[in-house]
Amino acid sequence: MNQIKPTVLILCTGNSCRSHMAEGILRHIAGDILDVQSAGSNPSGYVHPLSLRVMEEIGINMQGHHSKHMNDFLEQEIHTVITVCGNADQVCPEYPGQKQRYHWAFEDPAHAQGTEEEILHVFRKVRDEIHKVFTAYAAGWKSGLHTHP
């Protein structure tokens, strides 16, 4: 039986750092059971190079990712929406078929200042926090805590 995978849409403002890291991590862990996408309320038009770099450090290649607008998904069935910044949480629309919505805010590493190493430290810290939260979320799906009709 070929069942369609439920779509999880991860939103932030610029769709350049946090939402892409979350998408990459969740797709890596649960892409076999979930269709994972990300978008932004005001997309930056690019994926931050340091996001790509710190994800590569943990074996996740995001070279094919690109910045998308959250309205691009208004015609699609979205099972779960996860916002990873406050602004996206405030402006997030309701999507067709939406069953769940979560808000898990993470610091925006794109605003980090300092030396390259200090900025990389912030990107790695945020990546690791996202990894921890989305690994737990994926475990819930894999154990059957989340359901899909």
Question: Catalytic positions, please?
Answer: 12, 85, 92
Rounded Cα distance between 112 and 120, Å, is 9
Instruction: Please answer whether residues 140 and 32 qualify as being in contact, where contact means their C-beta atoms are separated by less than 8 angstroms.
Output: no
Rounded Cα distance between 20 and 14, Å, is 10
Q: What is the 3-state secondary structure (H, E, C) of 38-104?
A: EEECCCCCCCCHHHHHHHHHCCCCCCCCCCCEHHHHCCCCCCEEEECCHHHHHHCCCCCCCCEEEEC
Q: Identify residue 109 by its one-letter amino acid code.
A: P
Plot region of 6 (φ>0 → left; ψ -120 to 50 → alpha; else → beta): beta
